[in-house]
Amino acid sequence: MKFLLLGILSFLLPLAFIKLCYAIGTISVIRRTKGALFVSTSKAKIEAILDELEGQANFHLVDLGCGDGRFLRAVYRRLGVAGEGYEINPWAYFLARLKNILTGMPIKIYRKNFFEADLSKYDVIFFYLFPDLLLDLAPKLRKEAKPGAIFISANFPLPGFKPYKVLKVEDPIYFYRV
Ligand X SMILES: C[S@@+](CC[C@H](N)C(=O)[O-])C[C@H]1O[C@@H](n2cnc3c(N)ncnc32)[C@H](O)[C@@H]1O
List contacts with ligand X (CB under 6 A). 29, 32-33, 36, 38-41, 63, 65-67, 70-71, 86-89, 92, 113-115, 128-129, 133, 154
Indicate the residue whose CB is closest to ligand X.
65
Provide, rounded to whole angstroms, the least separation between the CB of residue 136 and ligand X.
9
Provide, rounded to whole angstroms, the least separation between the CB of residue 4 and ligand X.
37
DSSP H or E run through 86: strand 84-86
Is there a contact between 140 and 165 (Cβ–Cβ < 8 Å)?
no
Alpha carbon distance 74, 69 (integer Å)? 9
| Longest CA span, the chain | 67
Shorter beta-carbon distance to ligand X: residue 39 or 166: 39
Alpha carbon distance 51, 66 (integer Å)? 20
Provide, rounded to whole angstroms, the least separation between the CB of residue 29 and ligand X.
6
Shorter beta-carbon distance to ligand X: residue 89 or 100: 89
Provide, rounded to whole angstroms, the least separation between the CB of residue 25 and ligand X.
8
Shorter beta-carbon distance to ligand X: residue 13 or 39: 39
DSSP H or E run through 140: helix 131-144
Shorter beta-carbon distance to ligand X: residue 84 or 87: 87
Gap between the terminal Cα atoms of the chain: 64
